[in-house]
Structure 1
Amino acid sequence: MHPVNPPPVPLRFTEIGDAGLPAIVFLHGFLGSGSDWLPFAKALSRKYRCILVDLPGHGEAAFPETLTPKNASEGYFTRTLDALAAELQRTLPAPCFLAGYSMGGRIGLGVALRHPGLFRKALIISSSPGLRTEEERALRRKSDEGIARKIEKNFDSFIEFWYTQPLFSTLKNHPLFKEVEAARKQGSPRNLAMALRLLGTGNQPPFHRELEANRMPMLFMAGEKDLKFVEIGRQMVTLSTNCSLEIFPGCGHTLHTEKQERFLDRLTDFFNTQEEAP
């Protein structure tokens, strides 16, 4: 049951590039913010209008103080999709392009599949269509609750723990890791814990059926060493004939950070390629 008057979903947009250019909407991952995409937006701003979104609980998109998991959790993921779609419809000439990473990839995939008129193409990085069964989602919610409590108890310790995960092993050895780590420590523990409880994979509706019906060109990317998401990418490609998968050699989960030039080249190639008429 939804709250009678649910608080608005917080979103913050930053624009770089001329308003008359084709637009790319960038969605960041968990713990990040729209500013994660600044190096890419600056490189692309002569040819694209780049929209850098702070997703709920991240960057400048703080949750209202009145919001709690009890009064918001049911359906919040879908409300976020609808709120983002409405804001994009209000501010951008459709259709535009989409690039989403990890959590932002899950949200972006949901928006693209449920509001297909918004985008011409979608680039989904290190992400998934969700979990198929309620049993899997319930287990994930339980796991995420444990992580949320770690965030609230000792945020610096949590950041250290987070980057010990195997999917970040290549990032930890990258020259940009210290910069990434410092940026993550600027987040709000209360907001990030709330975001995990509301927008984690356990609260995401599965998008497998929508993918089967999808007609939008999509490119999935995964790092070679991020074995879980390589397999998820392969599964997604089998669901939709309009989807393709690119595996970045030598990379983990943060392939766009680890190989920025290659990522930019592949992004521009994908968005610039003209699709044949059906």
Structure 2
Amino acid sequence: MLHGFISDASTFDAHIERLRSHVSILTIELPGHGGDQSPDTETWDFSFIQRELDTVLQHYRKYHITLHGYSMGGRTALYYALHGKIKPEGLILESASPGIQDNASRTERIQVDEARAKVLEIAGIELFVNDWEKLPLFASQAEIMTATQRARIRNMRLAQNPERLAKALRDYGTGNMPNLWPELSALTMPVCLIVGERDEKFVSIADKMEAVIPRCEVHEVEEAGHTVHVEDAEQFAIIVLGFLNKEDHND
């Protein structure tokens, strides 16, 4: 399971409790997040992350591996499914995109990522988190989640290192992600797309992805926004286990 930006592996703690009676779970912290120790001297681009995942996943080759990724982690999981040495037998993408298709929009997003990186470096983590929580992408969290749940997520965000987050944005933010749209038809494993009903941008992206991925199913979770695994943990678990059970029956 691969987490999103300004997060870490602890975001999946509750799901480990829910799912571990059915599957074994490996959580991985992406470069610049949590306890990750990727060297600052490296460029943390998608090929770097792919090589690092190759090193980790080779220890689990004898298992049936399904990759799950949320948002930034979803983009990373998708890239790995297409380019990694160890092909997963299933792919679960939650609120994820295959990248930006046109050059002008990509350039604009690189500038946005750079501006956010500078805020992290100059203003620090607390001011950045305050602004991040106000993004329309996360508006549903304030309405759906309890104060305790929101506090837990905020504390996880505040625990991140702002300088390393800034490097993550520059090295493998959305702007610097390769355009994977032309490669989606090459995915041979079953793919599960999970989106929140209120996350209209990613609902639209999921519909377009479903049209070109050969073995694909889309689950739109009612009332949820961008962070489905947090906003509706129960439904998220039902979808994941249902998908894994289908994979087992196809073996």
Q: TM-score, normalised by structure 1?
A: 0.83
Q: Which residue of 2 aligns with 1:120?
A: 89
Greater shift, 132-141 or 247-256, is seen at 132-141
| Aligned residue in 2 for 1:7 | none
Distance in 2 (alpha carbons) for counterparts of 1:50 and 1:151: 31
Partner of 1:89: 58
Structure 2: stretches of 5+ with no match in the other structure: none
Alignment of 1:228-247 (within 5 A): 228-247=201-220
Please give the residue correspondences for 1:91-240 in structure 2 after superposition, counting only pairs within 5 Å.
91-115=60-84, 117-154=86-123, 155-173=125-143, 174-175=145-146, 176-240=149-213
Instruction: Report percent identity of matched pairs.
Output: 32
Distance in structure 1 (CA, Å) of the matches to 2:248 and 2:17? 26
Further displaced range: 89-98 or 258-267: 89-98
Moved more, 47-56 or 116-125: 116-125
Aligned partner of 2:235 in structure 1 is 262
Q: In the superposition, relative to structure 1, how do residues 77 and 116 fare at CA in structure 2: closer, same or farther (>3 Å)? A: closer
CA distance in 2, matches of 1:117, 1:78: 14
Measured against aligned partners, the alpha-carbon deviations of 1:135-158 in whole angstroms (never above 9, x if no partner) come to: 322221111000111111222111
Matched pairs, number: 247
Contact 2:81–2:187 (Cα < 8 Å) also in 1: no
More strand by share: 1
Residues 143-178 of structure 1 deviation map (CA, whole Å, 9 limit, x = unaligned): 100011111122211101111111101112311111
CA contact (8 A) 1:106 1:129 kept: yes
Return the alpha-carbon distance in structure 2 between the equivalents of residues 96 and 123 of structure 1: 11
Local SS of the residue matching 1:158: helix
Counterpart for residue 48 of structure 2: 79
Q: Distance in 2 between matches of 1:43 and 1:118?
A: 26
- Relative to its length, the structure with more helix (as a share) is 2
In 2, distance between residues paired with 1:65 and 1:96? 29
The residue that corresponds to 1:30 in the other structure is 5
Distance 2:157 2:22 in 1: 29
**Is the 8 Å Cα contact of residues 144 and 197 (structure 1) preserved in structure 2?**
yes
How big is each residue's C-alpha offset from its partner over 1:69-118, in whole Å with a ceiling of 9 and x where there is no partner?
xxx37xx2222123212321234424411111000000001111223753
Q: SS at 1:47's partner residue?
A: coil
TM-superposed CA distance for 1:246, in Å, is 1.0
Q: CA deviation at 1:42?
A: 1.8
Letter in 2 for 1:221: I
Query: Larger RCO: Structure 1 or Structure 2 (Cα < 8 Å, ≥ 6 residues apart)?
Result: 2
Q: Secondary structure at the match of 1:119?
A: coil
1:13-24 paired onto structure 2 within 5 Å: none
Q: Deviations over 1:33-67 (max 9, x none)?
A: 11111111122222221101011000111342445
Amino acid corresponding to residue 148 of structure 1 in structure 2 = A
CA distance in structure 2 between the partners assigned to 1:64 and 1:83 by the alignment: 12
TM-score by length of 2: 0.92
Equivalent residue letter for 2:73: G
Q: What stretches of structure 1 of length at least 5 have no aligned partner?
A: 1-25
Change in CA separation of 1:271 and 1:116 when aligned onto 2, cut-off 3 Å: farther
The AA in structure 1 aligned to 2:136 is P
* Residue deviations 1:235-270 (CA, integer Å, cap 9, x gap): 111111211211111111011101101110110011
CA distance in 2, matches of 1:244, 1:86: 29
